[in-house]
Amino acid sequence: MTIRLDARLVPIYQDVLHRNPGEIEFHQAVLEVLESLGPVLTKYPEFADKKIIQRICEPERQIIFRVPWRDDAGEIHINRAFRVEFNSALGPYKGGMRFHPSVYLGIVKFLGFEQIFKNSLTGMPIGGGKGGSDFDPKGKSDDEVERFCQSLMLEMYRHLGEHTDVPAGDIGVGGREIGYMFGQYKRITNRYESGVLTGKGTDWGGSLARKEATGYGLIFFTQEMLKAQNDSLEGKKVVISGSGNVAIYAIEKAQQLGAIVIACSDSGGFIVDENGIDLTTVKRLKEQERRRIKDYTEYHTTARYVSDSSIWSIPCEIALPCATQNELTAEDATMLVNSGCIIVAEGANMPTTAEGIQVFQQAKLRYAPGKAANAGGVATSALEMQQNASRDSWSTEYTQSRLEEIMVGIHKSCFDTAKEYGDEGNYVLGANIAGFIRVARAMSAMGLI
Ligand code: NDP
């Protein structure tokens, strides 16, 4: 892979490698942002003088702690949990918690780093943070998940607060887990502090449309990318990886806007249904019964299940990776380009490898990074915080219209910034520069913090 770094940024990147050994996903996320920042240092030399980039690459605070819990048979288990409070120049740390066996410090730091720029792009008053644990919720009973969440919050509560750090969900953390964590926070602190967690149930402080927000927001963003080329979603063939929170609501909105979603997946494999995925079945399997995507074929005989090849081998016009990091490789990117794909927009965080991104950019395919395209989730979380602060509850229609407005704004900001810096259509450049400048200006104004 070719590294395209401005000479002034090379020592900064080398320092990141040296100070954070083995954290390969964090290195990857930092490099992707630094590759865009050369022209910014030329335009704003004060950011170099004030070492803003070096400061942004170092989290403000990193918390690592033990989470002991008992399973249903009475056996004790020990997990490790993290909260990385990366940057609070724009507001309280904001970013989800991930429960997955692959979680370690490097994953949490990559996610927290991305979150700084994503949150900045929303234009809302939220800083960047992220957390998680190597706990695997798969196959655990509700009681086990509850005991784990309670034990985790027994340590994490002291670092949180509606004006300090506000976690939400991510992979493996949905409404159930947020409920257990909120209940435990309330019990420990004796405070009904609604704004301390987002993604809450709509009966007790959650925002309508939060569950749908990341997936819907992704489609609103994709629609703007198409409009910029005088095109629309109507009749487009779409492939979406994953079948979790982001994927399900991306499928829903894409279908509402006339697209035909023909494939989706989980970590076991993918299903292809040329008639269009039946979302009712996917929702029942995934949201209610916690089953595998393979079981879809039991209900739809025209569909096929594939577990020995990549979902990106299925020809489509629009590809939306919505599962996990580095799920779309250079080989996958080449297959997509060769099969006529015109747009790739990321619902997941950093799902495309650095080599994959280069393939897309060389082919001049329009490619939107997650920090822009999936920002609808955190934007709606910020709307949830606004409702909590004013003890108000907005309608679904109003919340969705705010979400759409925010996604249109993010698209415009990325598009216009890329154009201003001489590379129209380069959403990576646009997102990184627009996201960075807002944070850098705030840090610059606040003195040496
Ligand atoms: P969920 O846990 O709801 O769903 C994740 C989906 O991805 C599941 O279908 C899962 O399959 C699949 N998946 C997870 N790990 C792997 C893997 N290693 N290989 C293949 N498939 C995998 O998570 P979300 O939908 O919430 O999150 C998906 C992505 O979107 C993540 O990158 C997350 O960071 C990002 N994101 C989420 C936001 C949100 O609001 N939820 C906001 C912004 C970004 P299986 O069930 O088999 O594990």
* CATH number for the domain harbouring residue 85: 3.40.50.10860
Is 136 contained in some domain? yes
Q: Are residues 85 and 159 in the same domain?
A: yes
Q: Are 366 and 359 in contact (CB under 8 A)?
A: no
Question: Cα separations (Å) of 378 from 286, 310, 389?
Answer: 22, 29, 16
Close Cβ partners of 21 (under 8 Å, ≥ 6 residues apart) = none
Is 388 contained in some domain? no
How many structural domains are present in the chain?
A: 2
Q: Are 150 and 143 in contact (CB under 8 A)?
A: no
Amino acid at site 219: I
In this structure, the number of other CB atoms found within 10 A of the CB of residue 402 comes to 18
Burial class from Cβ neighbours inside 10 Å (0-12, 13-18, 19+) for residue 4 reads exposed
Angle at alpha carbon of residue 320, lines to 318 and 324, rounded to 5°: 160
pLDDT at residue 48 in the model: 97
Is 49 contained in some domain? no
Q: Are residues 346 and 229 in the same domain?
A: yes
Range of the domain at 272: 211-364
Does the beta carbon of 266 sit less than 6 angstroms from any atom of ligand 1? yes
Is 234 contained in some domain? yes
Is 51 catalytic? The answer is no
Angle at alpha carbon of residue 100, lines to 15 and 139, rounded to 5°: 170
Q: Are 315 and 290 in contact (CB under 8 A)?
A: no
CATH of the domain at 242: 3.40.50.720
The residue whose CB lies within 8 Å of the most ligand 1 atoms, and thus the one to mutate among 109, 289, 324, 350, is 324
Instruction: Give Cα 87 to chain centroid, integer Å.
Output: 17
Q: Are residues 216 and 331 in the same domain?
A: yes
Distance CA 154, CA 164 (A): 17
Domain boundary among 342, 364, 386: 364
Is 19 contained in some domain? no
Q: Are residues 171 and 223 in the same domain?
A: no
pLDDT at residue 2 in the model: 73
pLDDT at residue 449 in the model: 85
Q: Are residues 153 and 219 in the same domain?
A: no
Question: Cα separations (Å) of 132 from 64, 80, 104, 289?
Answer: 10, 9, 8, 24
The residue whose CB lies within 8 Å of the most ligand 1 atoms, and thus the one to mutate among 28, 102, 135, 245, is 245
Task: Pick the residue whose CA is nearest to atom 23 on ligand 1.
Answer: 171
Task: Pick the residue whose CA is nearest to atom 10 on ligand 1.
Answer: 266
Is 126 contained in some domain? yes
Q: Which residue is catalytic, options 94, 109, 130, 253?
A: 130
Task: Pick the residue whose CA is nearest to atom 31 on ligand 1.
Answer: 348
CA of 173 to the centre of ligand 1 (A): 10
Is 247 contained in some domain? yes
CA of 243 to the centre of ligand 1 (A): 8
Q: Are residues 256 and 359 in the same domain?
A: yes
Q: Are residues 167 and 223 in the same domain?
A: no
Does the beta carbon of 352 sit less than 6 angstroms from any atom of ligand 1? no
Q: Are residues 188 and 260 in the same domain?
A: no
Distance CA 318, CA 340 (A): 9
CA of 172 to the centre of ligand 1 (A): 7
Angle at alpha carbon of residue 403, lines to 400 and 409, rounded to 5°: 145
- For residue 333, the SS3 value is helix
Distance CA 153, CA 8 (A): 42
Q: Are residues 177 and 235 in the same domain?
A: no
pLDDT at residue 105 in the model: 98
Task: Pick the residue whose CA is nearest to atom 7 on ligand 1.
Answer: 323
Amino acid at site 437: I
Query: Can you tell me which atom of ligand 1 is nearest the CA of 173?
Result: 2
pLDDT at residue 4 in the model: 86
Q: Are residues 342 and 251 in the same domain?
A: yes
Is 401 contained in some domain? no
CA of 273 to the centre of ligand 1 (A): 21
The residue whose CB lies within 8 Å of the most ligand 1 atoms, and thus the one to mutate among 138, 177, 243, 246, is 246
Does the beta carbon of 207 sit less than 6 angstroms from any atom of ligand 1? no
CA of 325 to the centre of ligand 1 (A): 9
Does the beta carbon of 226 sit less than 6 angstroms from any atom of ligand 1? no
Amino acid at site 349: N
CA of 323 to the centre of ligand 1 (A): 4
Amino acid at site 3: I
Does the beta carbon of 245 sit less than 6 angstroms from any atom of ligand 1? yes
pLDDT tens by residue, the chain, 449 residues: 677 899 999 999 999 999 999 999 999 999 999 999 999 999 999 999 999 999 999 999 999 999 999 999 999 999 999 999 999 999 999 999 999 999 999 999 999 999 999 999 999 999 999 999 999 999 999 999 999 999 999 999 999 999 999 999 999 999 999 999 999 999 999 999 999 999 999 999 999 999 999 999 999 999 999 999 999 999 999 999 999 999 999 999 999 999 999 999 999 999 999 999 999 999 999 999 999 999 999 999 999 999 999 999 999 999 999 999 999 999 999 999 999 999 999 999 999 999 999 999 999 999 999 999 999 999 999 999 999 999 999 999 999 999 999 999 999 999 999 999 999 999 999 999 999 999 999 999 999 98
Domain boundary among 332, 364, 396: 364
Domain boundary among 333, 364, 395: 364
Distance CA 399, CA 190 (A): 30
CA of 179 to the centre of ligand 1 (A): 19
pLDDT at residue 146 in the model: 98
Q: Are strands 93-99 and 165-168 parallel, antiparallel or unpaired?
A: parallel
